[in-house]
Each structure stands twice: as structure tokens, then as C-alpha cells.
A and B are shown apart, each in its own frame.
Chain A
Amino acid sequence: MPWWDRLDKGGHAALGYAGCRRRRSLDPARADDREHRETVGMAAQATLERLGGTLSAGDYLRALWSRRQFAIAIAVGEVRSQHMNTALGNLWLVLNPLLQMGVYYLVFGVIIGTDRGVDNFLAFLAVGVFLFHYTQRSIMAGAKSLLKNQGLIRSIQFPRAVLPLATVLAHGLSFLPAAAVLIFIALATGESPHWTWLLLVPLFAVQTLFNIGMAFIMARITDRFPDMQNVLPFVFRLLFYVSGVLFLAARYVSPETLVWFQLNPIYAMISTGRGIILDGTLNGVLWLSAGSWAVAAMVTGFFVFRAGERDYGRG
């Protein structure tokens, strides 16, 4: 039997490495292979690091922090390439929210008329629609981020949390022009600037935290069960209606039901936004609800996401 027949049958050990002289990089008179492997193994354990291990939460955060520039570069790159092939380019970042407002105003302000109890319906609608879409787009894109970047996951070692994080950052960046449009609409419809407008910044931070945390959770679920991508649109459709995006909830539901609305993080954020832009008022309950949701989502999301780190990108 020629030597390759034994190789094809998989009996490499019996064959003595295809008949090749083994590399004797150490002592040529070494007693046997097993002892050599043991020696090398111990040397490796003593001097080298084991690959493919899991990081502790602290080390994971540090690794994530050291890759912050990478996350920002991905986010900026995504926003940049979004409208690259269009004639108007990044003007669409402003035109999109404007057109969107036009449609919603036409349908719900003029045709159906859900503007009961609202003085400035256009600005009211703008806050609702822009804030809702920021969360919706962040979470839905964040959920897909691991599946979309499977190639990257399979070729470069980095904390995978960079991917959902960068996706939310990208949507945060495209939210900024929408926020400018929001201010413009508020001014154009006769609101006068008020100090509470500055609170848009912490509100944006709270919402971003919430989005990142939820994106972490959804990314892990979607990576394991891609079916989630088909469920999420319906979840958000439902949230769209129960978050009072198009109508003043207090006007349509009973006070008991309104408590449940206030426990909904998206309603809390939208109403807070309306309070600070339109009325110049602060509602402590809503801030508390939004803030605790954001912190809870972020903490849970981080730990849930990290626990699946080893399994990402191998569907």
C-alpha cells in the first residue's frame, strides 16, 4: 500500500506525518513527541496568552473604550455613504425630515384632524415623529448590525459591542439635522425660544443611552434568531400608536390609562420633548421614567450583549 493511501484514510498518526522527517527544532535527541508537547505546552501557558478567551466586564469596557475611534469612524462613514449616490447628497438629511413632516401634517393635521387639544400641531407632530423615528431606526438597525457585519466579525478581533454602538451613533448623527429642522419648525410656527430648549441636549443623551441598550439586547437576539427582524417592525408599529406620536394622549385616554402611557419609555421621551419645546414645562415623572428606562436598558443591554460575545457571527 503506498503511503498516500494511508493518509487518505486519515491514519496520520500511524503514518508518522506522511513519512516526512519531523521538524526537530529543539533537541535532536529528544526522547519522544509527547514529552516535547508537554514541555511546549507548559512554556506556552507560562509565557503566552490563550486566544479566544472571554474578557471580564471591566476589561471589556476598557477594550470598547480603546476602540471608540473605530466606532465613530464606522458611524461617520455610514452617514457619509448613505446619500453618496444622490444628486442632492447630504441635503437629504434635512429634506427627509421636512418631507416626512409634510406628509404627516397633511394626513393627520388636515385630513383626519387628530389635533384636538393641541395649539401648535405642526411642532407637536415634529417632536413626536422625529424622536420616535430616532429610536425606531436605531434599534432596528442595531438589531441587524451583527448579521450585516458577519464578514467583519469573522476577520478582525474587536469587542463586538462596537457594531451596535456604531449603528446607534450613525442614527444619532443623522438625528442632528432633524433636530435642527425641529427647532426651525418650532420657530416658524410662532414658538419663542425658551431656556428649557437647552434640555434637548440631556434628552438626546437619555434617548441615545436607551437606544444603545436596546440595540445591544436586540442585536444578541437577532444574531441568534434572525426571525426577530420580521417581528420588530410590528413591535414598532404598535409602539407608534401607543406612544402618542400623532395625538395628545391625555385628551384621548382616561387618567388611569395615562399612567401606563407614562411607563412607556418612548411616550415619556416624546412628552418630555414636547414639554420643553412647546410649553416650557418640566414633568418630573416623565424624566424619571425616561431616565430609569435608559439606565436599565444600558446596564441590562451591556451584560446581555457581552454574555453572547463568543457566539456572534457564526450563524
Chain B
Amino acid sequence: MSGITGVADTRQVLADRQPPLDPALTLVAQDAHVTYRVYEDRRVGLQELVSRGGKLRASRAIKAVKGVSFEARAGEVIGVIGANGSGKSTLLQAMAGLLPCTDGAIYARSQPVILGVGAALQPLLSGRRNVELGLLALGASQEQVEEQFDEVVEFSGLEDSIDLPLRTYSSGMKARLHFAIATSIKPDLLLIDEALAVGDADFRVRSEERIRALQAHAGTVFIVSHRLSEIQRTCTRVLWLCAGELAADGAPGEVLAKYREWVGRPRNRPPRQQREQRRRWRRRRRRRRQERRLERRRQRRQRLQAEG
């Protein structure tokens, strides 16, 4: 199966293959690679300068995502886990269309909304104006803003402080506002990057409810989080990224168990000599303990014999 196929051909091929595909695909990553360049903060030697053709700053290509493939379907809540620097956030950015894939492709049913509306807000302005600004930033029209406004305020629970400047809000209040704004436009595809952990318990319950509502609306939600309990509770499926590659894709219980096992793996193993030395000590300790135990038993037996 190679070369360019027209849509008609594609339909034919799809019809031929058994069983037919479930139509509710919402987001598909096909061998997605994301590489970006960052500038290094270091001195460049003359020799290096010449060899690089006169570029003054050293840059390095970071391969953050290396060939990830998966397909998301309507009604799934997908958790994305992995160690720091494993490419979770980069993958999310690529899924939002903010970073183009250097190789492979990501397809989506609609423009995914990443829960990063905070960047559009202006700290000096009141919460009220920022709700408007945030909704407009996510592509709502003026009428939608007026329609959604009360609901956003009510859901964020900030009725009393909506006229205060945003900079006076606590981080929890801000997180609540961001979540309320981003979910009020009922995005078909919502990408959440570590946001729910900030709110209080009450808000967490309500936000999980809202995620379920989006799920019930046949949308797909992606959640990047380090709180495995939260992933376990809310997700129907988990992707585990490790060094930019997909290490596992499956049911939460199964993948999280593997992930926990991987996190607890023995690391920083001591060199062989030390290991053997420790083993010798351990054996000696065990032997001595054994000897002491035998000795105690022998003495007790003697005592009993002397009494009886």
C-alpha cells in the first residue's frame, strides 16, 4: 500500500478491509515526529564557528517526539503519562496544531483546544474582562461570549471576585477560571496539561464531572498528569510516553501497573565490585545471625534440660 491514493480509492480499500472501521475517529497520530531547535547558552570556538558556516549561536535539534502512532475515538478520556522530559507536552502541542510534525502527521476531526487560555489573559484587567478575552481567544463570537459568560462565572465559583483584577487571584482561582473558560465552549477535543491538580477538592470533583460531560458529548479529552490516581479515576485509556516514544497504550489499570513497576525499577546500580562486596557482607551477616540463633536455641535447650 504505497503511493498516492485518491479519496475514492481509499473508500474502496476501507470497504474491502474487514471489519469496517468504527467511524468515530476523532484524532489520529500517524508516526508523528516533532523536532525543534533550541539555542545553547555557551561560547562558540573559532574552529566550530568556521565549520558551521559562520552561525554565531550554537543550536541543537531536540527530538522530543519520535514516531508516535495512536488513534483516539469519540467518548474516550485518554491519560498521557511519562517521566519529565519524555515528550508529553510537546505531543500535546503537536496535537493542538501549535507545533508542526517534522515527519508523519496528526489528523483531527476539529481544532483541538489546549487548556492554556491563561496566556491570553491580561493580569491587570478584571476577571470579567478576562473571561470575555479568554472566550474570544478560543474563537467564540461576541454573542457566544454573552451567552456563556454567566455559566463560566458560576462554574469557576468566582462570583464575588469577578470584578477584581486578575493579578489578585490565587493560583487555584486562576486555574479554576482557565478551566471554566476552556470547557465552556464545549470543545470537541480538549487537551489538558497538568491543570486539575491546582484546584481544591470541590473543584476537582466538578471538573471531573465536566470532563465526563464532554466525554458523553462524544468528544475526546486528553489529560497529561503526574497524579496517577487522577488518571486512574478519570481516564478510559492511558498512553505512556518514554523518551519520545510510545511505551504503552492500553487500559489504565494495566498501563499504570507497568508504569509503577518501571518507576520503582532499581536505578543507579553500584558497580560490580561493590555489589559483590555487599553480597559477601550480607552473607556474613546472615551467617552470624544464624549462628547466634543456633547458640540461643542451644542455651535454651540446656536450660530446660537443667530445670527438667
Interface residues of A (CB under 8 A from B): 2, 4, 7, 10, 12, 17-23, 25-27, 35, 37-52, 66-67, 69-70, 73-74, 77-78, 80-81, 84-85, 149, 151-158, 310, 314-315
Q: Which one of B71, B96, B98, B124 lies within 8 Å of A84 (CB-CB)?
A: B124
Which of B150-158, B204-212, B257-265, B286-294 contacts its partner?
B257-265
Does the CB pair B13–A42 fall under 8 Å? yes
Whether A17 contacts B249 in the complex (CB less than 8 A), given A7-B242, A77-B125, A156-B138, comes out as yes
In the bound complex, CA of A39 to CA of B165 (Å) = 52
Of A25, A45, A73, A85, chain B has the most CB atoms within 10 Å of the CB of A73
Chain A contacts for B37, CB-based, 8 A: 314
Residues of A within 8 A of B17 (CB): 35, 39
What sequence of 0s and 1s flags, for each residue 1-33 of chain B, a beta carbon within 8 Å of any chain A beta carbon? 100010100110110011101110111101100
A25 touches B242 (CB 8 A): no
Does A51 contact B97, Cβ atoms closer than 8 Å? Answer: yes
Is there contact, CB below 8 Å, between A155 and B98?
A: yes
Note all chain A residues with C-beta closer than 8 A to B5: 42
What is the bound-complex CA distance between A17 and B11, given in angstroms?
A: 30
> Taking the complex as formed, is B224 at the interface, i.e. its CB lies under 8 A from any CB of chain A?
no
Contact assessment for A51 and B254 in the assembled complex, using a CB-CB cutoff below 8 Å: no
Q: Report chain B residues within 8 Å CB of A38.
A: 1
- Could you tell me if B21 and A67 are in contact, using CB atoms closer than 8 angstroms? no
A149 to B133, CA, bound (A): 14
Q: Is B119 an interface residue (CB 8 A)?
A: yes
- The interface residues of chain A lying within 8 Å CB-to-CB of B262 are 4, 7, 18
Contact of A20 among B39, B112, B258 (CB under 8 A): B258
Contact yes or no, B30 A44, CB < 8 A: yes
**In the A-B complex, the 9 residue pairs with the closest CB atoms:** A155-B116, A81-B124, A48-B107, A51-B97, A151-B119, A44-B28, A52-B100, A44-B107, A70-B136
Q: Does B85 count as interface, using CB distance less than 8 angstroms?
A: no
* Cross-interface CB contact of A22 among B28, B96, B249, cutoff 8 Å: B249
Contacts A42-B14, A77-B122 given: A70-B106 contact, CB under 8 Å?
no
For B238-268 the 0/1 string (1 means CB < 8 A from A) is 0010110111111100110010011001000
In the complex, chain A residues whose CB is within 8 Å of the CB of B118: 155
How many A-B residue pairs have C-beta atoms within 8 angstroms? Tell me: 186
Q: Are A37 and B30 in contact (CB under 8 A)?
A: yes
Task: Return the chain A residue nearest B247 by Cβ.
Answer: A18
Using CB atoms, name the residue of chain B closest to A314: B36
Note all chain B residues with C-beta closer than 8 A to A49: 107-110
Report yes or no: A17 in contact with B248, Cβ–Cβ below 8 A.
yes
B285 within 8 A of A: no
Do A47 and B25 have beta carbons less than 8 Å apart? Answer: yes
CA distance A27 to B301 in the complex (A): 69
- Check A48/B21 contact, CB under 8 A, given A77-B129, A158-B137: no
Additional 18 contacts, C-beta under 8 A, given A2-B265, A39-B13, A45-B107 = A10-B243, A12-B245, A22-B249, A27-B18, A40-B25, A45-B7, A52-B98, A69-B136, A70-B137, A77-B125, A81-B124, A151-B119, A152-B137, A153-B98, A155-B96, A155-B116, A156-B117, A157-B96
Interchain CA distance A48-B151 in the complex, whole Å: 31
Given the known inter-chain contacts A44-B25, A52-B106, A73-B136, please indicate yes or no for A157 contacting B98, CB distance below 8 A: yes
